[in-house]
A and B are shown apart, each in its own frame.
Chain A
Amino acid sequence: MINELKQKLLANFNDVQVNIPEDNRMTVNTKKESLLSLVSYLKNMGYNHFAMLSCVDWIDDKEFELIYIISAYPQDDEHYQDKEKKNILLKTRISRVKAKFITIISIFENAEPYEREIHEMFGIHFEGHPRLTPLMLERDYKIPPFRKDFDTNKYVENTFGKVPSIKERKEGKK
């Protein structure tokens, strides 16, 4: 079953590398240009549940890796098939300097908050996204906080460590 899908993907797409690390997981590495068509191809194949979008900052390679995890809903009410057990991890890499990608909201509607979160935490701009407004953070950050070069200790020191104590404030320090 999963090998069939692997053959189909390899036949239909040129630049994909398909691995099956264990029974119910499949990782598909692809170039960023073909990701969108790959997502809609899988959706048409019946993998209609977009589980999550994640991002890893590979700072040594100067790249971000986006991971789209897709699985399937059961087809009928009574029986389960092999399809639902599968999780497909679609992976693509984009440049860390020009952190830009395309939204997949037109294919999977619920990608919207995930893309918004990745935009906020990693600073990746998703073209075509209707609202890339702040989701959770309240302050402005020079470096988006989930990037590896964001130093949490330094940030805390700069933001909160410079607040003068009560004693210092009495002495006139602001």
Chain B
Amino acid sequence: MRELKLYFGPQHLGMVGNFSITLQVEGDRIIKAESNPGYLHRGFEKLMEQRTWIQNFPLVCRINVVEPDHMELIYSMGVEKLAGIEVPERGKYIRSIFCEMARVASHLFGAWAYANMLGFDTVANWAMYHRDLLLDMFEELTGARVYHIYLRPGGVRRDFPDGFTDRLVKTLHKIGGKVPDYNATFFENRLFQKRAEGIGIVTRKEAMRMGAVGHTLKATGLKYDIRKIEPYAAYDHVDFNIPTRTGGDAYSRLLTIRDDMIESVHMIFKLIDKMPKTGEVYTKTPNPFKWKIPAGEAYVRCESARGELGLYMVSNGGTNPYRVHFNTPSFNNGLTVLEKALEGESISDVGNIMISLYVVAPEIDR
């Protein structure tokens, strides 16, 4: 049979985000796939070298459109480590709650993308609606819906408003009450199972060889989660599980994402119970325009909704960073794992596999 080159570009309906893949196909089978990022490259890391430590926040959160909060968190953690700032106890708890909210919102967005791509429009609309409920909570807390700029070096920008936690619990119960419906129409629906089972299998050995992180690994049974391995914020004060599966296929990956979302909701309840009722939420930092951070380097990592997120940061003692380099989970998953996972699969499953690997294009390009 004749081999053809097919551009599975950003305009394709099955493609979520500004990303394209060059496929070499024989009939319907993919022989070779080459990821082609760069549609969203904005050179953030270079721009950050020209702005002060605080001015970088509006850039940082735009690295990942779907879940900006972990980007703010990792950048704050990096600056804190370089400058030697401690976060107050209540600030740590608020950070954890905030990041878990972001994780739930991000997973709901992921469910929307997956359901929408496969034609489960009802589920997609539910997921979008439930994410919107969470965005309302974000708006109440921070004044913004998507890019919050709420975390800052030393803690969080402001304390929870009165009665916020009660309203948050109510919202989460409302979303959680819909889980059986989600299961019946989507996660345990035979139609969806048939579509996702056995697709894009990445075994544990392969995943480890290719440096995979996040749900790609969790779906093979490995509990690789930075929240447990190297706890930050308030994660060492609460007890939580890391949901895993053993299939390694797209279906297992989506189920780990669902379980992770449920686990996050339970964790928010636990965090709210344990949180100190009063106290400072941030440590004071110097005047942002004159703030010089001692020369040095830091490597920090956290667990974003997509997996291990790292930041390598260098300061030369000036008012702005000397070098910032984000190691985003999608960079590795999208450029190494995706290319291998697509080999031998059908063209109709490209979007399916890509979303199940949780690749977000802006994170790759930065």
Q: Name A's B-contacting residues (CB within 8 A).
A: 24-25, 27, 48-52, 54-57, 67, 69, 73-74, 77-78, 80, 84-85, 87, 89, 108-110, 112-114, 134-138, 145-146, 150, 152
CB pair B229–A136 under 8 Å, yes or no, is no
A84-B230, A114-B331 given; 19 more Cβ-contact pairs under 8 Å: A27-B297, A51-B211, A52-B312, A54-B323, A55-B325, A56-B322, A56-B323, A74-B229, A77-B222, A80-B228, A85-B230, A87-B301, A109-B209, A109-B336, A113-B331, A113-B335, A145-B43, A146-B46, A152-B50
| 7 contacting pairs across A/B (C-beta < 8 A) | A52-B327, A56-B314, A78-B223, A84-B229, A87-B299, A89-B297, A109-B210
Inter-chain residue pair count (beta carbon < 8 A): 89
CB proximity of A86 to chain B, nearest CB, Å: 9
Tell me which residues across on chain B come within 8 A of A137, comparing CB atoms.
Answer: 38, 41
CB proximity of B274 to chain A, nearest CB, Å: 22
How many Å lie between the Cα of A150 and that of B49 in the bound state? 12
Those of B220-260 within 8 Å (CB) of chain A: 221-224, 228-230, 244
How many Å lie between the Cα of A20 and that of B74 in the bound state? 22
In the complex, the chain A residue whose C-beta lies closest to that of B323 is: A56
Tell me which residues across on chain A come within 8 A of B244, comparing CB atoms.
Answer: 77
In the complex, B89 has a CB within 8 A of chain A: no
Tell me which residues across on chain A come within 8 A of B335, comparing CB atoms.
Answer: 112-113
CB pair A51–B310 under 8 Å, yes or no, is yes
Closest 8 CB pairs of A and B: A110-B211, A136-B38, A52-B327, A113-B335, A136-B41, A54-B325, A110-B336, A54-B312
Tell me which residues across on chain A come within 8 A of B308, comparing CB atoms.
Answer: 51
CB proximity of A60 to chain B, nearest CB, Å: 9
CB pair B224–A74 under 8 Å, yes or no, is yes
Tell me which residues across on chain A come within 8 A of B37, comparing CB atoms.
Answer: 135-136
CB proximity of B11 to chain A, nearest CB, Å: 17
How many Å lie between the Cα of A24 and that of B43 in the bound state? 30
CB pair B299–A89 under 8 Å, yes or no, is yes
How many Å lie between the Cα of A49 and that of B221 in the bound state? 17
CB pair A73–B224 under 8 Å, yes or no, is yes
In the complex, B86 has a CB within 8 A of chain A: no
In the complex, the chain B residue whose C-beta lies closest to that of A27 is: B297
CB proximity of B209 to chain A, nearest CB, Å: 6
CB proximity of B309 to chain A, nearest CB, Å: 10
Tell me which residues across on chain A come within 8 A of B50, comparing CB atoms.
Answer: 152
How many Å lie between the Cα of A126 and that of B179 in the bound state? 50
In the complex, B191 has a CB within 8 A of chain A: no
CB pair B310–A52 under 8 Å, yes or no, is yes
Tell me which residues across on chain B come within 8 A of A55, comparing CB atoms.
Answer: 325
In the complex, B169 has a CB within 8 A of chain A: no
How many Å lie between the Cα of A69 and that of B301 in the bound state? 11
Of B43, B229, B336, most A-chain CB atoms within 10 Å: B229
CB pair B38–A138 under 8 Å, yes or no, is yes
Tell me which residues across on chain A come within 8 A of B301, comparing CB atoms.
Answer: 51, 87
In the complex, the chain B residue whose C-beta lies closest to that of A81 is: B229
CB pair B208–A49 under 8 Å, yes or no, is yes
CB pair B299–A48 under 8 Å, yes or no, is no
Partner of B327, one of A27, A51, A73, A108: A51
CB pair B332–A113 under 8 Å, yes or no, is yes
Tell me which residues across on chain A come within 8 A of B297, comparing CB atoms.
Answer: 27, 89
How many Å lie between the Cα of A98 and that of B47 in the bound state? 26
Tell me which residues across on chain B come within 8 A of A87, comparing CB atoms.
Answer: 299, 301
Tell me which residues across on chain A come within 8 A of B208, comparing CB atoms.
Answer: 48-49, 73
CB proximity of B94 to chain A, nearest CB, Å: 25
In the complex, B365 has a CB within 8 A of chain A: yes
CB pair A110–B332 under 8 Å, yes or no, is yes
Partner of A49, one of B41, B211, B325: B211
Those of B29-78 within 8 Å (CB) of chain A: 37-38, 41, 43, 45-47, 50
CB pair B223–A77 under 8 Å, yes or no, is yes
How many Å lie between the Cα of A117 and that of B151 in the bound state? 29
In the complex, the chain A residue whose C-beta lies closest to that of B324 is: A54
Partner of B211, one of A50, A57, A134: A50
How many Å lie between the Cα of A119 and that of B43 in the bound state? 15
Tell me which residues across on chain A come within 8 A of B217, comparing CB atoms.
Answer: 73
How many Å lie between the Cα of A51 and that of B221 in the bound state? 20
In the complex, the chain B residue whose C-beta lies closest to that of A24 is: B230
Of A73, A89, A108, most B-chain CB atoms within 10 Å: A73
Mask, B78-117, CB within 8 Å of A = 1, is 0000000000000000000000000000000000000000
User: Given the interface contacts A109-B209, A138-B38, does A69 sit within 8 Å of B310 by beta carbon?
Assistant: yes
